[in-house]
Amino acid sequence: MPFTPLHFGPGAAINALAPKHISFLSFCAANVLIDVEPLYFMLNAQYPIHRFLHTYLGASTIIIATLALFVLALKLSRWLPNWFAWQSLSPAAVTFGAAAGCYSHVLLDSVMHTDIRPFAPFSDANPLLGIIAIDTLHSLCLVAGIAGLWLWFIRQGLGK
């Protein structure tokens, strides 16, 4: 699922369940950061396009990078706009959001991309490849996003 908002669907659902503890913003940011890798390799016609960042080990580095960018942005916050109220996020919520984003990204992409080795460098196995149809995977992500949005609207209506 390179560069698709379908990755954000599970994040919307997870965030809706624990909005104060899991940042949807960092979930999305981590997903975008991970997909810089295949973008680079696609633009340079180098294959495979899913490499280190599409492993659980590599995704862990993106969690650290997301948190580091957040801490840096906080230091510069007086000069930055507070879009989406990011300045009120806790480091824990940013970390949990980034972790959920990174690990779900690797999991979802493992189901559909033949060049992913999620457990590298420890194993070249990808036991999730083809476990469900790609259309089903996309539908589940879309349903998760709709459910998350629905829960968000309910919370807004209840003033929570």
State yes or no: pLDDT of 160 exceeds 60. no
Mean pLDDT of the residues in the chain: 92
Model pTM score? 0.91
> Which range marks the domain in which residue 23 is found?
5-157
- Rounded to an integer, the average pLDDT of 61-79 is 93
Number of folded domains that form the chain: 1
CB atoms within 10 A of CB 68: 10
**Per-residue pLDDT reduced to its tens digit, 19-47:** 999 999 999 999 999 999 999 999 999 99
- What is d(CA 122, CA 127) in angstroms, rounded to the nearest whole number? 14
pLDDT band for position 101 (cuts 50, 70, 90) = very high
